Amino acid sequence: MKWLGLAFILFTVVALTGWLRTNPRGAKWAWGLLTFLPFVLDPLHLIIAPFATPMWSGYVKGWEISLLDAVAFGIIFGTRGRWPRMVLVLPLLAYIGAVLLAVLQARFPSYAFSYPLQLIRVLLVFLAVARVAQLEDGERALLTGLVLGIAVQAGYAIMDRANGVFQTGGSLGHQNLLGFVSHLALMPLCGMFLARRLPLLAAMGIACALVAVVLTGSRATILLAGAGLTMTLLLSTMLRFSGQKIGYVVGAFLLLAASAPLAYSAIERRVSGQMGGVLEKDQQRIAFERTAKLMVQENPMGVGPNHYVFMAITEGYAERAGVNWATGNRAAQVHHSYLLVAAETGYLGVAALIVLLGTAIWRAFSTAIRFRKYREADILLGLGVGLVAISLHALVEWTFTLYAVQYVFAGSLGLIVGLRSRLISRALSTDKKPKRAVAAVKQPAFASAMQSA
C-alpha cells in the first residue's frame, strides 16, 4: 500500500505539471493547496515514508514524502513566467547546509538525514509559494487556502472540546503545534483583512484562528496571539493612517477585552486542574534545558539532527541534568527550539536558524515600510508579526522542527518573497511611465526651439 501511495504522489507531479501548462486559468485551485494541505496532511494520511523509522526516538520518523511535495513540484515546473527575486533562498539554504553538515556528527546518519530531507521539502514549498505569490490571483489563492486550513483546525478543535478534551491540538495532535500554525495564520489574515483582500473571507479566517487559539488552552499561544493581533493593527495604523483602521483597532480591543475572561478561565482551569503538575513540568523544562546545554558544551558541532533524545538517554546527559523518569520525561525533546537545534546541529546550525528568522522578519517589515502606500504592505506586516510570534514561542517550545509548522512557515517565507518581488516590479513600472510621458512632451518643445533658433 505504501508503494502505491508513492506511485500516486509521483504521478501527481507529472499530471499536475501537464495540467498547469495546458490550463493556466484553473491554476488557482492548485495554488491554494500549497497553504491548505499542511493543515490536513495528518488526518487525511497524505504523507508516507518509503524508509520508515516508527520506533526511532527522534521527531522525524523516516524519509517522508507528502502530497504537498508533489503539488509544489508540479507548480514549480508547470507554472510559466519569470521567477521572483529570491531574497530569502540563501538564508534557507544556509540553514539546510548547516543541518546537512551536522549529519556527519550523528551516530546513525540515515536517521539523522530524515530532518534535512524534511527541510529540502520545505524549500520546495517555499519556491512554489514564492513563484505563485508574485501574481495577484496567486496571492488570493494562497490566502484562501490559509483561511480554509485554519477553519478545518478550528472545526477539529471544537469537536475535541465537545468530547471533553480541554487542551486540544485539532488534528495536528498537540496544542503547541496548533498554537504555532495559528500564529502563522492569524496575523497574516489580519493583514489580509486590513488590506481589504476578500474581507469577509479574511474575517472568517480570523474568527477561526481565534477559536483555535483559545481552545489550545496554552498560555504562550493565547498571550502571543493577543499581543500579535494588537501589534499588527497598531503597526498598520501607524504605517498608513485611516479612520477605518482606528475603528478596527477599537473593535479589536473590545473583542480582546470581551474574550479575555474566556482566555483567562482557560489558563486558570489548566493550572487548577493540574495543581502541582504545572510546577513540576516547569522544573523539568529547566532540566531539559540543562541537558541541551551540556550537549552543546561537549559537542560544539552538534550530536546530529533528530538525535537529541537518543543521545540524552544513551550518553547520560539527561541523568546528569536531573531529568526524572516520570511520565516519559527522558523521551521528551527540550522545550526550546533554539536549544534543540543547537544541541543537534551545533552553534553553526542555531546561528543559521536565527539568521533565517531575522532576515525573514526584516524583509517583511522593511518591504512593508518601503511600499506602505500599497495594500500589500498590511499583509507583509501580518506575515512579519506572525514570524515574530513563532520566534518568541520557540523560546518555550520545540515544535518548530516539525513538518506541520515548517510547511506553513515556508508559505510565509514564500509570500514575503512573492509580494516583495511584485511590489518592486510595480514600483519600477510606475516610475518608468512618467519618464516616458515627460520625454514625449519635452522633445517637441526642444525641437521647436531649435527650429526657431
Confirm if 236 and 383 have CB atoms less than 8 A apart: no
Q: Under a CB-based contact definition with an 8 Å cutoff, are residues 210 and 225 in contact?
A: yes
Burial of 99 (0-12, 13-18, 19+ CB in 10 A): buried
Domain segments of the chain as ranges: 86-452
Place of cell 541537558: 291
Residue where the block lists cell 522525524: 60
The C-alpha atoms of residue 245 and residue 365 are separated, in whole angstroms, by 19
CA distance 156 to 105: 40
**Could you read off the pLDDT tens digit of each residue along the chain, which spans 453 residues?**
677 878 888 888 889 988 888 888 888 889 999 999 999 998 888 999 999 999 999 999 999 999 999 999 999 999 888 889 889 999 999 999 999 999 999 999 999 999 999 999 999 999 999 999 999 999 999 999 999 999 999 999 999 988 888 888 888 988 999 999 999 999 999 999 999 889 999 999 999 999 999 898 888 898 999 899 989 988 998 887 766 666 666 666 666 566 556 555 555 555 555 544 555 667 788 999 999 999 999 999 999 999 999 999 999 999 999 888 776 788 889 999 999 999 999 999 999 999 999 999 999 999 999 999 999 999 999 999 999 999 999 999 999 999 999 999 999 999 999 999 999 999 888 766 655 444 444 444 434 444 443
Q: Residue type at 54?
A: P
Distance CA 378, CA 372 (A): 8
C-alpha distances in Å from residue 244, one per residue of 59, 193, 249, 357, 377:
46, 12, 9, 32, 16
- Which one-letter DSSP state was computed for residue 85? -
CA-to-CA separations, 386 to 180, 304, 383, 393, 411, in angstroms, rounded = 9, 29, 5, 10, 12
